A = this chain, B = another copy of it.
Amino acid sequence: MSITAPTEIDHRTSARDRLLAAANELFYAEGIQTVGIDRIIERAGVAKASLYNHFRSKEELVAAYLASRHELTTSRLAAAMARVDDPREKILAVFDAQAQQFAQADFNGCAFTAASTEAPRGGLVEAAADEFRASIRGMFTDLAEQAGAADPVTLGRQLHLLYDGAGLAARMDRHDPGIAPSVCEAAESLLDVAVYRGT
Contacts and interface: CB of A to CB of B under 8 A. Distances in A.
A80 interface: no
A33 interface: yes
A199 interface: yes
A165 B186 CA distance: 13
A66 to B, nearest CB: 13
Contact of A164 (B117, B169, B185): B169
A173 interface: yes
Contacts of A185: 154, 158
A118 B154 CA distance: 32
Interface of A: 31, 33-34, 109, 112-114, 116-118, 120, 129, 133, 153-154, 157-158, 160-166, 168-169, 172-173, 178-179, 181-183, 185-186, 189-190, 192-194, 198-199
